[in-house]
Structure 1
């Protein structure tokens, strides 16, 4: 599957929630998410634009591989996920294989489901520790359906009045925010 996603920084989450509800979006239960990211022992994920994470929500954990972005306007990429029955053992296995912990991204997520053009989009308002508020609009697509999914996600962002998308992931933004300023 391909994940088609756009992300925007938010200054007014209340106004966005009102627009979502006006468009008929259904609010789901808010959740706390903890995303533990790993580096690969033989290649630099920052250079290859890939990611490997273990996401924990309550007592559930999912391992996710994200491939490199495949376009310049959205964050469309291959995504492979698997549910974990023993996340600590999986993390130990990764570390035994040479993967190293990079950082943990912690956020509170308020998801909404928005029906558009026969497709259900997930719209998530995130309060990311150390970064602030963002909204992500996401659809999953097969390669044959990719152009339509991109168009649908982009149209949803426009209907919500969102501008100036953010293509960096939370991990990249967090690592950049933690770097000391350069003295020139």
Structure 2
């Protein structure tokens, strides 16, 4: 599966969220997310444009691998995600990764208010993110198979335009934080 994403830094989310509501989106429960990113021992994920993270949402944990971005208009990339079972799963996986030579790079913390929208036969998640150290963003994403990618890219661009969003940020929150603090991956 491919994740097709556009992310926008935004000073005031209210106008876009009002448009989103008018389109029939439903708000889900807001969550606090902590994403711990890791770098490979023999290749620099910052150079290869890959990501490996453990996401914690309360006592739920997910491990996610994201491949390189494959599209110049959006952040479209292959994504593989699996849940981790057990309250200590995050710590145990982090220990395994450390033993294999992976290095924890940085944690990204955010408050996320997700909205779900079904439009034109496609499911979208629009997230209103408050990222610690970066500010406010609206992130739009949908999933697509290889054959659906062009249609998904077109659909996500249309939704962004309908929400009044322009000038997407193609860098990840991790990259933006590392740049802000003057550290590399």
TM exceeds 0.5?
yes
Q: Which residue of 2 aligns with 1:37?
A: 37
Secondary structure of 1:32's partner?
A: strand
Q: Distance in 2 between matches of 1:91 and 1:82?
A: 15
Distance between the aligned counterparts of 2:24 and 2:51, measured in 1? 33
How big is each residue's C-alpha offset from its partner over 1:137-174, in whole Å with a ceiling of 9 and x where there is no partner?
10100001111111111110000000001000000000
Give the gaps of 5 or more residues in structure 1: none
TM-score, length basis structure 2: 0.96
- What residue is the counterpart of 1:46 in the other structure? 46
Residue matched to 1:68? 68
Equivalent in the alignment of 1:164: 167
Residue 118 (structure 1) aligned with residue 121 (structure 2): yes
What are structure 2's unaligned runs of at least 5 residues?
none
SS of the aligned residue for 1:70 comes to coil
Aligned-pair distance for 1:22? 1.1
Structure 1 residue 92: Cα displacement: 0.4
Residues 1-184 of structure 1 mapped to structure 2, 5 A cutoff: 1-85=1-85, 86-179=89-182
Distance in 1 (alpha carbons) for counterparts of 2:53 and 2:47: 17
Greater Cα shift, 62-71 or 11-20: 11-20
Q: How far apart are residue 120 of structure 1 and its match?
A: 1.1
String of CA shifts for 1:92-131, please: whole Å, max 9, x gaps.
0000000011000000000001121011100001000000
In the superposition, the TM-score normalised over structure 1's length comes to: 0.96
What secondary structure, in the 3-state scheme, does the structure 1 residue paired with 2:148 have?
A: helix
Q: Quick check: 12-21 or 54-63, which moved more? A: 12-21
Measure, in 2, the Cα distance between the counterparts of 1:166 and 1:73: 10
Secondary structure of residue in 2 paired with 1:127: strand
What is the deviation of 1:71?
A: 0.8
